[in-house]
Structure 1
Amino acid sequence: MDDLVKFIHEAGSLKLTPRSGWLKLGIKLPESVAEHSFRTALIAFILVLKSEGDVNKAFKAATAAIFHDLHETRTMDLHKIAREYVRADEGRAIEDQISRLGVKLEFSDVEDYLRDADKLELAFQAVEYASLSPNAIEFAENIELKTDVARGLYNALMDRRDPKWWK
């Protein structure tokens, strides 16, 4: 149980880890990695559900999204420019973390959906941050997506660009 307590505390530190790319645009309090992972999980679930109609596979994709940036508790969130100069052993970090759970996680069958969900979440956040920093919209432009549902969702997002419609 001690290993599980440690794992949960470590995962919780993602709530305190900012998505660093937004800092470069002057966003003073950018979303955390945990916030990003939450919405990525929702998007991954939706992509699989709408693409394949398989709720169990959709849950698997959402779970994959929850874990997809867990390594950043140890490596931090390296923005695009930093990745040109710094290499983090993300695979080793996640293996060490998951070893506390005593299982092997396998998400290869939802990989394309996860990548698309990760990119879409970035695009949604960029649209939202564009009101604070007009350059943020550049993070949403020209995103390459693999799945048809993801491309449709992206096109709808970029056509609307109204993150506060529900208010």
Structure 2
Amino acid sequence: MNKKILFLIQQAGLLLQMPRSHVRNLGTAFDTVASHSHHASIIAYCLARMEKLNHEEAMKALSMAAFHDLAEGRTGDLDFVSKNYTKDDEEQAIKDQFKNIDFGADLEKLLKEYNERKTLISKCAKDADSLAQMYHEWVLTWRGNKLAQQWFEGDFIARVPYFDTKSAKKLAFAMKDSNPNEWWWDEFVAKDGEAKTKKHLLGKNYSNKKKK
């Protein structure tokens, strides 16, 4: 077995423990670099399909988003302030991570396409990265974080207009008009506020027939 593969997996594992750097500015956060990449990868697939790409193309966008921050296992995650004074060598980190791995060249090529941002696939992946960040700010806003609210509202001026895909813009505005619990409220609660499946609230012996 090529131990470099094990080492790559170990570096990916570091991201499970690495809080994203925005926590020092927002004060609270619930994500890590790894959870952010996972969420971005799901969003990337959805965006690609919304942009009429096929399943294989969408899976490529998903892969880009899944790997896009892997280099941070070596460079760390620089926040907006730090990036003004510190330059990480992400390109070299990527080369070192994939060196002497049989499929390393394929992953380098994938991330090169992502970073060049010329293809629709890579644009979907990047927009997904941004939407995942906005999602985090949005949830924190609903939890009462005023700093996150300022970031989220500011993104509609400084970030959303520059998205490369119309689908990402649509999702951003849909998010703004929603709330983090809407998905289950819509599925399990009727318009009149009554639970659609009361047995989960009141027990299995509950009768759906209203008492007169």
Give the TM-score normalised by the residue count of structure 1.
0.92
User: Which protein has the larger Cα radius of gyration, Structure 1 or Structure 2?
Assistant: 2
Q: Is this contact kept in 2: 1:23–1:30, CA < 8 A?
A: no
SS in 2 for 1:16: coil
Aligned AA (1:135): L
Shift of 1:120: 0.4
Deviation for aligned residue 1:30: 3.5
- Partner AA of 2:96 in structure 1: D
State the Cα distance separating 1:100 from its structure 2 match.
4.4
Q: Which letter maps to 1:163?
A: P
Structure 1 residue aligned with 2:26? 25
Matched, 1:66 2:77: no
Q: What SS does structure 2 have at the residue aligned with 1:97? A: helix
In structure 2, the CA distance between the partners of 1:24 and 1:3, relative to structure 1 (3 Å rule), is same
> Aligned residue for 2:77?
77
- The aligned counterpart of 1:6 is 7
Task: Find the aligned partners of 2:100 and 2:20 in 1 and give their Cα distance.
Answer: 25
Matched, 1:42 2:42: yes
Q: Give ranges in structure 2 of 5+ residues lacking alignment.
A: 114-118, 186-212
Q: Which amino acid aligns with 1:125?
A: H
**How far has the Cα of 1:11 moved from its partner?**
0.7
Write the letter of the residue equivalent to 2:32.
S
Quick one: distance in 2 between partners of 1:138 and 1:93? 33
Q: How many residues align?
A: 165
Q: Deviations over 1:60-105 (max 9, x none)?
A: 0000111100011111110101101110001110111122433323
Q: Residues of 2 paired with 1:53 and 1:111: CA distance?
A: 12
CA distance in 1, matches of 2:150, 2:71: 26
Q: Structure 1 regions of 5+ residues with no counterpart? A: none
Measure the CA separation in 1 of the matches of 2:53 and 2:68: 23
1:9 Cα shift? Answer: 0.9
User: Structure 1 residues 99 and 52, CA, compared in 2 at 3 Å: closer, same or farther?
Assistant: farther
Distance 2:70 2:47 in 1: 21
The letter of the residue matching 1:111 is S
Q: 1:89 corresponds to which residue?
A: 89
Deviates more, 1:111-120 or 1:137-146: 137-146
Cα distance in structure 1, aligned partners of 2:66 and 2:100: 16
Q: Which amino acid aligns with 1:137?
A: Q
Contact 1:15–1:34 (Cα < 8 Å) also in 2: yes
What's the counterpart of residue 154 of structure 1?
172
Normalized against structure 2, the TM-score is what?
Answer: 0.73
Structure 1: which 4+ aligned runs deviate by more than 6 Å?
Answer: none
